[in-house]
Amino acid sequence: MSPHRLQTVRPDDILAVGSGPVFFSLLSALTRSGFTDFHLCMTGSASADRKPLAEWLRGARQAAPEAKLREAVLGQEDAAGWRNAVRPHQTILYASQEGEPGELLLLEQACREENKALLPAVCLHRTGVAGPFVQPGLEGGWESAWRRLHETALCRGPQRQPVSVAAGALLANALVSRLLRYIAGESGAGEGNLVYLLDLETLEGGWHAFFPHPFAHGRKGIPIENLQISWRRLEQISDHWFERTSEQWIKQPSERWIKKSPERWIKHTSEQRIKQTSDHPTDQTSDQPFKQITKCGIEPIFEGSLPAGWFSYFGRLTSGQIGIFHAWEEGGLSQLPLAQCRVQSADPLSEGPASLLPDLVCAGLTHEEARREAGLTGIEAYVSRLAEALLDETGGVIGIGAGETAAEALRRGLEAYLCETLRRRICGQTRVQAEERECEGKRAQEQAEERVYEQKREQEQAAEREHEQKREHEGKRGQEQVHKQSQELVPSAACVRLGNVEDKHCRYYLQVLNIMRGEPVIGLGEAVSGFPVFWAGTGGAWYGGVGLNHTFALRNALRAALMMAQNTQDPPGSVCRPANVLEIPSVQLKQDAPVLVDIDSIDETFQPEVLFDALQVVRKDGYHLNVVDLAVEPFLKELAVFGVSLRVGGTS
């Protein structure tokens, strides 16, 4: 860098703040890079740093007599004190070995209020963190990085380890190098979404990009009014995601008709799509909706096949240190008879560092199907936590659905809602019946004791005989009641005889289960809000699946049963249950004749007609479909992400 570029930084532009050996490494890195005119300020009450500072200043002035190194004084280390300290300067460099995130958060807040730039470096446990470059008006910043940084990335140990001279020098050089690049005007040097992570023991490190946190800088939430999605909004989303199959837009019906009958609108658009596809069979990839999240923003990344776009998108969300996904991979999971992929999301509600949500394992007939399913499931797990802070659903149920299209996201969200409703029904039934059984037992015991007491008073022998008779009678009646209650504790289902199974997923699941564990028992349970529930009994347990139609419901139940059979040899707790499936020990099969059920085939590409039929069921049963748009972060807007719930009454 030419001296002319350094002369553009005025003497009062830079303030170096910090304490400990890392701070002295920063001062040395600045002077070696040609910065001989800046202010420095010690933090904390460590008097042990005062003598080394005086020695360092003396040595620096001897090495460069022209150097103008001035010490600034920090008053109270509170918000007001930090504002006063940074006000005369333009760029603040912070380096501390103590690793106090709270102090750095106060400094960042002061720099934002005073419109100053900030470059920090701290040591947290056995990890050094340099950056991000905090600038006024730009997203990112230290709080976002702190809340995105995974707990596992900090290399936590039993106690804080001393930082070596080499490690401190690496962190300091990372800061000064970033500052020099910014002064030189290099593209991307001033971005606020990059941090340098350094293992303080092995000295391995690298730069990592992160996404701005939605609750950083005092943002507590997003008003629910901005999330409510109208049928007009559904029309616009559908236009963008799955109604453009050629360069010409499909002509849409009026908004009034859409609000009056959204089901007819979806059917209309699907018919128009089929018609246009037949008219323009070669025009299938115009205006691909997928985007790439890069250091410089969001830009299109592909013009090819669907899987490549999904893999690229989910891959950019994945980082074991600071990503939305901590892991998205096959790992050590068995891949036969089902392909499997695990996903683990970071918790967006963590104050920092980010804790990790439970591992989720998804399966499919192919690796692409399993990885795509895992990616969507990871997004849904992440957004489910966001929804807890954004939505007032105390005691209610909301299903989170993500998808390539609005139709797919609505289908997945509705199925998640139905599954949670079924889960609460089963668990709630068990609790209520247990309480009723306990109360009935207490009343029966009190009545029996009272009768025995009265009978003994009248005639001991007669009372004893009568008492024995009653005990036998009550014993039999109690056994009958216990048997009846044990039957009521489990859900009932009609025995199913499967007819034509045209769906390839269901057919494959049945064939493999039959080989591994024998033919599964299939039961058709009580519908949830008008939607079918299937139970698959195998291996001493029953797996429930609910879906918008028989095919989706049976798929979910059979896939869960097969996954559990496939992973029986894995260590306990190493594989999580599939999402949206309920496992219970038993189901009460009705003694009626088996119900004959045919399972239709569903194309790999989700068709809006399935959603159209589901909306008819919702309206027929007197429910109102409530949908909120939960794509509240920039990277989520590349998908359709909805929160779905049903409520009685109203109109759709």
Name the token pair of 263.
């089901």
Determine the structural domain holding residue 71 and report its residue range. 3-209
- 269 found inside a domain: no
Q: Is residue 396 part of a domain?
A: no
**Domain-embedded: residue 405:** no
- Residue 262, domain member (yes or no): no
* Mean pLDDT within 231-246: 45
What mean pLDDT do residues 40-67 have?
Answer: 74
What digits encode the pLDDT tens for the residues 111-138?
A: 888 898 899 999 888 889 998 988 877 8
Residues 51 and 157 in one domain: yes
In this prediction, residues 33-60 reach a mean pLDDT of 77
Confidence of residue 282 (pLDDT cuts 50, 70, 90): very low
Alpha-carbon gap, residue 420 to 367, rounded angstroms: 27
- Domain's final residue, options 390, 411, 441: 390
Distances (CA, A) of 256 to 230, 235, 240: 12, 12, 20
Q: With contact defined as beta carbons under 8 Å apart, do 403 and 629 qualify?
A: no
Give per-residue pLDDT as tens, 69-118.
Answer: 887 877 777 888 888 888 888 899 999 887 777 888 888 888 888 898 89
140 with 76, same domain: the answer is yes
Dist. CA 328–CA 314, nearest whole Å: 8
In a domain, 68, yes or no: yes
Residues 85, 117: one domain? yes
Reported as a pLDDT band with limits 50, 70 and 90, residue 650 is low
Decide if pLDDT at 280 tops 50.
no
Q: Are residues 517 and 548 in the same domain?
A: yes
Number of domains within the chain: 4
CA distance 412 to 548: 9
What is the DSSP-derived secondary structure letter of residue 358? Answer: P
Shared-domain flag, residues 449 and 370:
no
Same domain, 308 and 376: yes
- Residue where a domain stops, chosen among 441, 469, 488: 488
Q: Are residues 482 and 506 in the same domain?
A: no
The H-or-E segment that residue 401 falls in is strand 399-403
Domain CATH number, residue 28: 3.40.50.720
Report which DSSP code applies to 248.
S
